[in-house]
Amino acid sequence: MGFALTGEQKQLKQTARAFLTERYPAQAINDLATSKPPTDMQLWPELVRRGWLDYDLGPVERGLLAEASGYALMPAPWWQSAGPGAVIREAAGEKDTNPVAIAGLLSATPVVKATASGTRWTLMGKAPHTPDAELATEILTTAVIAGGTAVFAVSAENAGMLAREGHDPLRPMCDLRFLDAPARFLVSTVDSGRVMQVASRAAIALLACEGIGIAHRALDMAVEHAKNETRSDRPNAPFQAVAHQLTDAYAELEVVRALAYRAAWLTGTVDAAGAETGQALSSAIAASRRAAMACTENARQVIGETALTPEHPLHRWHRRALWLQAFGGANLPS
């Protein structure tokens, strides 16, 4: 399967990766993972300035940014705002660039009820397993109203949050609770089903591309280690075997990359809510999850025992691969 990027897309991919890896060396990411909070929100204005939150970005361009994000483990809650958040906000006629978290995205459906009093809405209920909620300015959630389900926005400060222990401290998870939380009406019952489906598909596309970045960075760490080892006095033969192993892994990753790019592209076509896009996304996210896990495990074998410790940067990419494997469960909505 082939999927050729344009010259502009290739430049975007290179520029995004260079920007993030220069700003966040692997050891800096390792240090951030143990800080409170484990993020750098000073990055957000720079992302806005560089166009990472632009609403006219195409789905492939967003996917390339997600790949760079996974390669560097960008410590900011970008993916929900740029992908599914943008879909929901556009459907509501808004174009905000502040960070959002989306309750129930690819996980347990929120059990939330909305009540109207005149033009004022309030929410009651729970929304478990919400990533990056502590870092958002607003929570977007579906809620039951008379006649069906609509989509609302709640200020993060009006949502009760209970932090959960997760696979990846750089992507913190929360259980949310709304107690008469003031809410803003976004999407009607007529449109909410379609909008949330397209939003979830945008999220899957970005996560599939992020997985490619995770896998690629792990391979690069393994390659760098193998190169350094061949400069020592140890025999070259074992490292030649490692080189073949890593080359084969990279070749397989390129196939997965093509799957992810095609799936991202389909989310921007007229078939965004159709069967072909759903099938492409299912294949892409499954392959990306496998690649992220396989490449991080492969790199740990190449690097050796030190890569098993939390002090080694590879540990953080392995934790993200585990998070990607777990988030949303085995059967993601497509």
Specify the higher pLDDT residue, 240 or 263. Answer: 263
Measured CA to CA, the distance from residue 199 to residue 193 in angstroms comes to 10
Residue type, 65: L
> In this predicted structure, what is the pLDDT of residue 227?
80
pLDDT per residue as tens digits for the range 104-160: 888 667 789 999 998 899 999 999 889 999 999 999 999 999 989 999 999 999 999
- Residue located via tokens 């940014």: 65
Specify the higher pLDDT residue, 19 or 246. Answer: 19
Question: How far apart, in Å, do the first and last CA atoms of the chain sit?
Answer: 22
Q: What is the mean pLDDT of residues 52-69?
A: 97
Q: What is the mean pLDDT of residues 88-117?
A: 91
HEC states along 232-245? CCCCCHHHHHHHHH
Q: Where in the chain is the domain with CATH 2.40.110.10?
A: 100-192
What pTM value is reported for the model? 0.93
Q: Where in the chain is the domain with CATH 1.20.140.10?
A: 1-96+193-334
Residue type, 117: S
Measured CA to CA, the distance from residue 276 to residue 261 in angstroms comes to 14
Strands (E), the chain: 100-102, 111-117, 120-131, 138-145, 148-155, 160-164, 173-187
On the question of pLDDT at 2 being above 80, the answer is: no
> In this predicted structure, what is the pLDDT of residue 121?
97
pLDDT per residue as tens digits for the range 277-328: 999 999 999 999 999 999 999 999 888 888 878 889 999 999 999 999 999 8
**Cα distances (angstroms) measured from residue 224 to each of 13, 138, 221, 302, 305:** 21, 41, 5, 10, 16
Q: What is the mean pLDDT of residues 6-19?
A: 96
CATH class of 100-192: mainly beta
Report the CATH superfamily, name and number, of domain 1-96+193-334: Butyryl-CoA Dehydrogenase, subunit A, domain 3 (1.20.140.10)
